[in-house]
Structure 1
């Protein structure tokens, strides 16, 4: 298959950990690579953010990244990109008219708008993954939500007009049904994890003497909704535990705010901020922790629990979004209500006091991650959705065309 992967703000080439670079970047990169390894030809379309970026970059064997000229060639917050999506869509239409892909897979709502616009003139079938929904973000962030006001309506349009929608968890399906997306067009395929990198075997980072008490790890983008404040406040209920916080930089507002909170609650001596870490360093950090704590207010999927589980590290997570699918309470870790300091403190205190339970959870977590979350399986299931869409349009033969640039 010739597959067009459209990801307007989340390039597979970006450094993960910035304000708008996170799980979607990882997802697009890993899915594209896994599909190419299965013989498909993948072209990723993302917005040009620098005048010196080459038009095309070979990302991996069988995967090319194309920088689309839409708007100024500078880095812009994703919430400012809507005005440039018509240009993005027109550029895609010209490209696809000359060399149509068999299927396009758009990621995030603005990519969906651009892809649907391009498909009007080219009849390219569109499969869409939202990664996050505006209605959920608005519900939890209220006035702090900086999304364009058109977002919720645009997402409803994309959900109803795409040939298929791939939800990453069951909770998202319920949200899509509330948007009146046709249930027959929705498929659930989780995000994947790199099982070669995230494994119980391998080096562990040095997070201090092992006899100085248990170590908890919180890792992710430095934004309030990730819930690190809840974990810091819960430390009062977890004597002797140290919390290592990875993500963000010293000059950013969120780490400074969290340190003030740690001092306010008398736990600053047990909280360590290590700043932004590379993707290559994450597995070693997770292996070094007694438990990974990830308690966001909401989470479309949540890759952190899955990566920790693959490393054989128990997870204490908030009972939201994809966490409800990946974390099995009492088997691979624990789920707690979001923003509930007392519940989180009790869960951590009881878990850390039971080394046998920690070990059992870790072993079960690693087995669960290996059983259905590798990118190979995710790619196979995604390609099956592409083939199903093509077949439903009477174009099943398109799935077996020769390769070529999309």
Structure 2
């Protein structure tokens, strides 16, 4: 067994459990680390401290701890602005290792910023190379391909860093076969450098429950037919396209009590303090006269999400680009059908029998028709949900951790 340094520089793995703004990466790092520790590995997760009240070292489970390292202001800072604090993060990493007499056997870095930290740590190891395993989670070239304006584009600094990391990492874990192909053909990664290992899902937490009980828990009427989106509030998520589709559904089904629930973002503040994307979506909601149909409910804790999944008719993931989609896996594990675009890695789990669950990017008419097909055929929806749950049961975090551990064991430096 190994001692692993799990680096998540820009976002805290515990954020999802605390109800803070998160994406799939937070869940990925925490759940993977938890299972690796249960296998017998010693796992130290390192993240940048974003609050002066953060506990320095958090003991999460046997063999698993989270370390908050000071790097720049102990406050939330955009990930596009924290690269200059990397040297301080590295210095404090070394201070922790000296203080606790720790020497790591492998670095697993998440996102390109963490990768740069891992690269520096690797280069400092003179007597024996420290293996660097890298999970990008998203790729700058693919994000730029779907960016709608200059403000959404990733800069050349990130692209150059990703290119360098592909050349220097000992192994890369891609979330899907499509991302593996992008790394090979766009980033010139050699085939044996990259493994396609999908994210996992907590099948004990995310499981089917009574729909009416779930609706009662989150406070919606038993008669309401809820369509659900879960994820970060970002332009590439395609939420505006989903809102257009919902407008079409409501216009064509005037007597159907249907609503759209959007889980994600911080809506606890006045609208003037909302993010640019959230304000833009709210403007779309007003233009479409859907104030009572589209509900922004904000971010939710992990233990609350199963109620949202089980209360809905379906989850829709209309992303322009998605390396995989952990929210979709969670919904599938609850036995809920997921309509996803054909650019998302999770679409690979949908077999030909249920191909109607795969939609196209920016085609609200098609998406509306697919939503209606499920709304009007509850028996088909239930059958799909049962089939899809079977497809994801093999993707428990325990099984995924075994595959990642095998990558560590087969590293050559």
Q: What TM-score, normalized to structure 1? A: 0.89
- 2:331 pairs with 1:308: yes
The verdict on how the C-alpha distance between 1:18 and 1:319 changes in structure 2, with shifts beyond 3 A counting, is: farther
- 2:134 pairs with 1:128: yes
Tell me the C-alpha RMSD between the 2 structures: 2.1
The verdict on how the C-alpha distance between 1:74 and 1:38 changes in structure 2, with shifts beyond 3 A counting, is: same
- Say which of 365, 368, 385 aligns to 2:391: 368
- SS in structure 1 at match of 2:156: coil
- SS in structure 1 at match of 2:58: strand
The verdict on how the C-alpha distance between 1:329 and 1:231 changes in structure 2, with shifts beyond 3 A counting, is: farther
Q: How does 1:98-113 map to 2 (within 5 A)?
A: 99-113=102-116
Distance 1:88 1:266 in 2: 48
**Corresponding residue of 1:210:** 222
The verdict on how the C-alpha distance between 1:304 and 1:54 changes in structure 2, with shifts beyond 3 A counting, is: closer
Is 1:235–1:267's contact at 8 Å kept on the other side of the alignment? no
Name whichever of 248-257 and 183-192 sits farther off.
248-257
- 2:286 pairs with 1:276: no
Distance 1:145 1:259 in 2: 19
1:239-268 per-residue CA deviation (whole Å, 9 max, x = no partner) reads: 222212222233324444333323322443
Is 2:206–2:334's contact at 8 Å kept on the other side of the alignment? yes
Is 2:228–2:315's contact at 8 Å kept on the other side of the alignment? yes
- 2:249 pairs with 1:249: no
- 2:222 pairs with 1:237: no
Is 2:215–2:222's contact at 8 Å kept on the other side of the alignment? no
Q: How does 1:32-43 map to 2 (within 5 A)?
A: 32-43=33-44
Name whichever of 115-124 and 7-16 sits farther off.
7-16
The verdict on how the C-alpha distance between 1:263 and 1:329 changes in structure 2, with shifts beyond 3 A counting, is: farther
Distance 1:334 1:117 in 2: 44
- SS in structure 1 at match of 2:86: helix
1:321-366 per-residue CA deviation (whole Å, 9 max, x = no partner) reads: 3123233354386011112111111111122222221011010111
1:294-332 per-residue CA deviation (whole Å, 9 max, x = no partner) reads: 111211221111111000011111111312323335438
- Say which of 180, 183, 188 aligns to 1:176: 183
Q: How does 1:249-398 map to 2 (within 5 A)?
A: 249-250=266-267, 251=271, 252-253=274-275, 254-328=277-351, 330-331=353-354, 334-370=357-393, 372-389=394-411, 392-393=412-413
**Corresponding residue of 1:226:** 237
**Corresponding residue of 2:78:** 77
**Corresponding residue of 1:66:** 67
Between Structure 1 and Structure 2, how many residues are aligned? 388
Distance 2:65 2:194 in 1: 28
Distance 1:369 1:245 in 2: 24
**Corresponding residue of 1:158:** 165
1:116-162 per-residue CA deviation (whole Å, 9 max, x = no partner) reads: 11111222111110011111112212412264430001001111111
- SS in structure 1 at match of 2:51: coil
The verdict on how the C-alpha distance between 1:316 and 1:194 changes in structure 2, with shifts beyond 3 A counting, is: same
Distance 2:5 2:78 in 1: 24
- SS in structure 2 at match of 1:369: helix
- 2:90 pairs with 1:89: yes
- SS in structure 2 at match of 1:231: helix
Is 2:37–2:43's contact at 8 Å kept on the other side of the alignment? yes
- 5+ residue gaps, structure 2, are none
Distance 2:341 2:60 in 1: 35
- SS in structure 2 at match of 1:204: helix
Distance 2:353 2:241 in 1: 21
Name whichever of 177-186 and 85-94 sits farther off.
85-94
- 2:144 pairs with 1:143: no
Name whichever of 56-65 and 144-153 sits farther off.
144-153
- SS in structure 2 at match of 1:312: coil
- 5+ residue gaps, structure 1, are 394-406
Distance 1:146 1:54 in 2: 35
Is 2:325–2:345's contact at 8 Å kept on the other side of the alignment? yes
Instruction: Give the deviation of 1:382 after TM superposition.
Output: 0.3
